[in-house]
Amino acid sequence: MTTIINSSYPSSINPLSPNGFMLNILKLPDVSYFCQQANLPSISLGEIDQYTPLSVAGIPGEMLEYTKLDIQFLIDEQMNNYKSIFNWMTGLGFPENNTQYSSMLALDNKNRTELSKNYSDGTLSVLSATNNVIEQISFIDLFPISLDSLVFQSTNNDVQYMVGHATFRYSYYKFI
């Protein structure tokens, strides 16, 4: 007697390519165009130990933790994309005086509340092998927390274009 194994197949058997993506951050269109790398941050859910006489059982927690969004981008010749992140950060931190914050708010000409002008939403679009959008991840209330230094050097033999690295925090992300 032959036993037939009933196995279901996934709806898609094509693997995901890591180089098919687009990142769009509303406040940073120049960065979006030159973006070379972005991560889909990890997510974790806390847990609570419940002690019983016989064992320790795990119970799901109620707070999600999201890691930071890291991006890498080519810097344009006028440094507009680098300066857009720099200006956003100095506007939030206003190292010289309070008018830096006011100037940052004035640059944002969208109809938003004062609080939302500190943040921007962003979308990471995942592309198929034929460059069609197959998935979108929306980041809510992004803001920059880190912009790496740039190293200028005259000892390079070949042209190596400048690459910027920035890190963002956000409230949460969701698949849309």
* Structure-token pair, residue 3: 């036993």
Radius of gyration of the chain (CA): 22
Q: What is the pLDDT of residue 71?
A: 97
Domain boundaries, the chain: 21-36+74-175
pTM of whole model > 0.85?
no
Query: What is the SS3 assignment for 122?
Result: strand
pLDDT above 80 for 92: yes
For residue range 15-54, what is the model confidence (pLDDT) as tens digits? 887 888 999 999 898 898 899 999 999 999 988 889 988 8
